[in-house]
């Protein structure tokens, strides 16, 4: 039986360091940032129950085509969602994927889950940008 351990932000950070992803701690509890493939990527551990992987890309101008692209994306893809994030005068594209950790996971399970979600949000961001550019 695999060695199951609690999923903590420190453990996520350690596991990702072994695949050359260095998370930079930000001013929020249990949230880290890395720039992957030129995309701002955030990873958060929520109360030892789930992990959220998020990719953000700023938009220079707001255009309704991005809402349509998100709707198209969300209707066809599962495991990752896309939104237009609006914060004051700032607008951006966001892809996000969450997985439950059931409080305990082996290192192999956690590493695989993180890698899959990171790949999903980064590929999703690329697909979303391609949809909006059509």
**Which range marks the domain in which residue 116 is found?**
5-133
Q: How confident is the model at residue 4 (pLDDT cuts 50, 70, 90)?
A: confident
DSSP state of 23: P
pLDDT value at 123 more than 90: yes
Give which of 69, 86, 84 is closest to 130, Cα–Cα. 69
What pLDDT is recorded for position 133? 80
Interval 23-72: pLDDT, tens: 999 988 899 999 999 999 999 999 878 999 999 999 988 888 999 999 99
pLDDT at residue 92 in the model: 93
Cα–Cα dist 114/120, whole Å: 10
Q: How many domains does the chain have?
A: 1
Q: What's the CATH number where 22 sits?
A: 3.30.1460.10
Tell me which residue of 51, 39, 40, 49 sits closest to 12, measured CA to CA. 51
Residues present in the chain in total: 134
Confidence of residue 118 (pLDDT cuts 50, 70, 90): very high
Confidence of residue 1 (pLDDT cuts 50, 70, 90): low
Question: What span, in angstroms and rounded, lies between the C-alpha atoms of 131 and 79?
Answer: 18
User: How far apart are the C-alpha atoms of 62 and 7, rounded to whole Å?
Assistant: 38
- Digit-coded pLDDT (tens) for 60-103: 888 889 999 999 999 987 889 999 998 877 889 999 999 999 77
pLDDT band at residue 108 using 50, 70 and 90 as cut-offs? very high
Tell me the two tokens of residue 20.
Answer: 């050359």
């Amino acid at each position: 039986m695999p060695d199951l351990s609690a999923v903590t932000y420190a453990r996520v950070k350690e596991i990702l360091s072994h695949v050359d992803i260095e998370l930079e701690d930000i001013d929020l509890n249990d949230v880290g940032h890395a720039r992957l493939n030129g995309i701002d990527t955030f990873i958060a551990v929520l109360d030892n129950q789930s992990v959220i992987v998020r990719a953000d890309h700023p938009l220079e101008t707001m255009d309704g085509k991005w809402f349509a692209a998100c709707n198209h994306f969300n209707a066809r893809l599962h495991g990752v969602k896309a939104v237009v994030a609006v914060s004051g005068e700032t607008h951006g594209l966001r892809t996000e994927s969450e997985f439950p950790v059931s409080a305990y996971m082996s290192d192999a399970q956690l590493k695989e889950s993180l890698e899959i979600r990171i790949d999903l949000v980064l590929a999703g961001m690329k697909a979303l940008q391609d949809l909006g550019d059509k």
